[in-house]
Chain A
Amino acid sequence: MDGSDLQASSHLLELAEPLPLDGGQALPGVRISYETYGTLNAERSNAILICHALTGDQHVASPHPKTGKPGWWVRMVGPGKPIDTDRFHVICANVLGSCMGTTGPASPASDGQPWAMRFPVITIRDMVRGHVALLDALGIERLHAVVGGSMGGMQALSLAANWPERAGAVLVIASTARHSAQNIAFHEVGRQAIMADPKWKNGDYYGARDKGGGKGPENGLAVARMAAHITYLSEEGMHEKFGRRLQNREAKTFGFDADFQVESYLRHQGLSFTDRFDANSYLYITRAMDYFDLAEEHGGKLAQAFAGSTARFCLVSFDTDWLYPTAESRAIAHALNAAGAQVSFVELSAPFGHDSFLLDVPALDRVIAGFLGS
């Protein structure tokens, strides 16, 4: 690991007021777990908020406490890196509904028992409301930039649309302004896999977990992760990585073991995911993403969402991303154009599908550094 880990600091904020939600309720006792890197300047003007994706967390450039793996964007965030912690104060908060320290369905409700399915259904805008409460607590009126990939990009867009004065620049990577039918369909497969697992027990599996009865609906959650993982890769990338190669064997077994490397890989991805993620959080966060439609929130016109915005925008898509394809980013760029906003948009070529934003794409580094630096 490099030096960027050393300067991370972990924090927990407990909101004094209940957090109002799009669903009409107000959530009491919300805790927000976040990390910071680099130094906030005296004017409080050099902060960059990084918003994480569906199963991401606040450990953007520091090791994950459960898996010990490097931060999920350590290649992008650190001293001298495209998001330069020598220049910027980087903040990354675990989103509402997640399970890495911020309040979610696994957190205790006022009766001391886990919320489980009593947790209210939340939206992307609710997550951003949590971020804004955090910025208020930190005394940061205006971010230098808000940055996010995938679901993180949805949060960045939601912040720009609903709290336009809070960010000077908005960087949205491999994302969309609304979940498509196909996006919702894949998420529904994942949710049904979890809810069909007898260990899910209508979400009330936390007691069994405490008594050493496993982690709840592990099989269902693993299948959900397997299905989702396919959508993060490109067909070409999968073919190159696995082809039809067999896993540790010379011939097919004429059975249902993981004969193929791709099967073995997906099973591993699914199982290891259950070590670090809560099944109910997966239900709630995928629901929030499915509900996301920025135009719908603003009278049906996406351009309306950005009317009067003074922020600079940059949208990046990848040519092999079929989860949130280029057309989605282009539609956002056109809407921003119509609203007269300063906007850049580029489709980069990368072989890794949706996951390209997390992987080695040098052109992305240049775009991010240039956009944030200017």
Chain B
Amino acid sequence: MSGLRPDLAVIAEHVAPGSRVLDVGCGDGALMAALRDQRHVDARGMELDAHNVAECVARGLSVIQGDADTDLAYYPDAVFDYAILSQTLQTTRRPDKVLGELLRVGRRAFVSFPNFGHWRVRLSLLWNGRMPVTRSLPVSWYATENIHHLTVADFRALVEELGVKVEGAWFLASDGQVGAAGANWRAEHAVFLLSR
């Protein structure tokens, strides 16, 4: 799965071949195309941006222009083996409800997000007293699409509150994966595999 963004590569490695997948916020379809071509996955996508959707359709992917906050409601229960939400949770209006919807339409869900608890973010806020602009959060507070920043610890608390099982977790830093211990400090991105 070379060429994929690191969090997508982790997800792609762990999707069972031949499964049915919904990629929510699928962007230009890179993950879907990799899953289709390399793991024979029946992949469907949802994406807000029209240019990205056009790009996906031009790649022969089945993608619906839609909003994760509202349009998951139009999918029947448990029709997908996996629902994937990569780097999108922190942009939704109600991340808790979106997680619930993901695990309604999919039997399992992969969720990846930038970790606001990373030491660079903490340091930046502590020293400068300003909203951090870092490599994984490169856009200023007023222009970012990220309206619900969260940390690894926040996410764990939320899934516990929702009664959702964590089947797997992967933590990514600039120099590769880091262990679960200290991940809330050390991980720039986190990937979770959840199930009901």
Cα-based distance from A349 to B50 in the complex (angstroms)? 8
Contact of A369 with B58 in the complex, beta carbons under 8 Å: yes
A-B contact count (CB 8 A): 63
Contact of B64 with A367 in the complex, beta carbons under 8 Å: no
Cα-based distance from A346 to B47 in the complex (angstroms)? 9
Cα-based distance from A324 to B115 in the complex (angstroms)? 43
Chain A nearest CB, measured from B167 CB (Å)? 25
A337-B50 CB under 8 A given contacts A342-B62, A344-B61: no
> Quick one: closest A residue to B55, CB to CB?
A366
**Binary interface encoding of chain A residues 342-374 relative to chain B, with 1 for a CB under 8 A from any of its CBs, else 0:** 111111110000000000000100110111011
Instruction: Provide the residues of chain A in CB contact with B56, threshold 8 Å.
Output: 344
Chain B nearest CB, measured from A309 CB (Å)? 13
A371-B74 CB under 8 A given contacts A346-B53, A348-B54, A349-B50: no
Q: Which of B44, B58, B71, B76 contacts A367 (CB 8 A)?
A: B58
> Quick one: closest A residue to B42, CB to CB?
A342
Contact of B50 with A346 in the complex, beta carbons under 8 Å: yes
Cα-based distance from A369 to B59 in the complex (angstroms)? 10
Cα-based distance from A373 to B59 in the complex (angstroms)? 9
Contact of A346 with B74 in the complex, beta carbons under 8 Å: no
Contact of A373 with B50 in the complex, beta carbons under 8 Å: no
Interface size on B, residues (CB 8 A): 22
Contact of A343 with B62 in the complex, beta carbons under 8 Å: yes
Instruction: Provide the residues of chain B in CB contact with A374, threshold 8 Å.
Output: 59-60
Q: Is A276 an interface residue (CB 8 A)?
A: no
Looking at A343, A344, A367, A373, the one whose CB has the most chain B CB atoms below 10 A away is: A344
Cα-based distance from A220 to B157 in the complex (angstroms)? 70
Within 8 A of A (CB), among B64-92: 64-66, 71, 74-76, 79
Within 8 A of B (CB), among A300-347: 312, 314, 330, 333-334, 337-338, 340, 342-347
Cα-based distance from A314 to B74 in the complex (angstroms)? 17
Looking at B50, B56, B58, B61, the one whose CB has the most chain A CB atoms below 10 A away is: B58
Q: Is B51 an interface residue (CB 8 A)?
A: yes
Instruction: Provide the residues of chain B in CB contact with A346, threshold 8 Å.
Output: 50, 53-54, 57, 63, 65
Contact of A363 with B54 in the complex, beta carbons under 8 Å: yes
Contact of A347 with B64 in the complex, beta carbons under 8 Å: no
A344-B58 CB under 8 A given contacts A338-B76, A349-B50: no
Within 8 A of A (CB), among B131-177: none
Contact of A366 with B62 in the complex, beta carbons under 8 Å: no
Contact of A338 with B60 in the complex, beta carbons under 8 Å: no
Contact of B58 with A370 in the complex, beta carbons under 8 Å: yes
Cα-based distance from A323 to B139 in the complex (angstroms)? 39
> Quick one: closest A residue to B59, CB to CB?
A370
Cα-based distance from A346 to B56 in the complex (angstroms)? 10
Instruction: Provide the residues of chain B in CB contact with A312, threshold 8 Å.
Output: 62
Contact of B65 with A345 in the complex, beta carbons under 8 Å: yes
Q: Which of B51, B58, B64 contacts A337 (CB 8 A)?
A: B64
> Quick one: closest A residue to B61, CB to CB?
A344
Contact of A347 with B50 in the complex, beta carbons under 8 Å: yes
A367-B54 CB under 8 A given contacts A337-B64, A344-B61, A344-B63: yes
Contact of B50 with A348 in the complex, beta carbons under 8 Å: yes
Instruction: Provide the residues of chain B in CB contact with A367, threshold 8 Å.
Output: 54, 57-58
Cα-based distance from A60 to B79 in the complex (angstroms)? 40
Chain B nearest CB, measured from A344 CB (Å)? 5
> Quick one: closest A residue to B45, CB to CB?
A344
**Binary interface encoding of chain B residues 16-56 relative to chain A, with 1 for a CB under 8 A from any of its CBs, else 0:** 00000000000000000000000000001000001101111
Contact of A344 with B53 in the complex, beta carbons under 8 Å: yes
A370-B64 CB under 8 A given contacts A348-B54, A363-B54: no
Q: Which of A314, A334, A338, A347 contacts B57 (CB 8 A)?
A: A314
Known: A347-B65, A367-B58. 17 other contacts (CB 8 A): A312-B62, A333-B64, A337-B74, A337-B75, A340-B79, A343-B64, A344-B62, A345-B53, A345-B64, A346-B50, A346-B53, A346-B63, A346-B65, A348-B50, A366-B54, A369-B58, A373-B60
Cβ contacts A to B, 15 pairs, < 8 Å: A334-B71, A337-B74, A337-B75, A340-B79, A344-B53, A344-B57, A344-B62, A345-B64, A346-B53, A346-B65, A349-B50, A363-B54, A366-B55, A370-B58, A374-B59
Residues of A within 8 A of B (CB): 312, 314, 330, 333-334, 337-338, 340, 342-349, 363, 366-367, 369-371, 373-374
Nearest first, the 8 closest Cβ-Cβ pairs linking A and B are: A374-B60, A370-B58, A334-B74, A346-B53, A342-B62, A345-B64, A366-B58, A344-B57
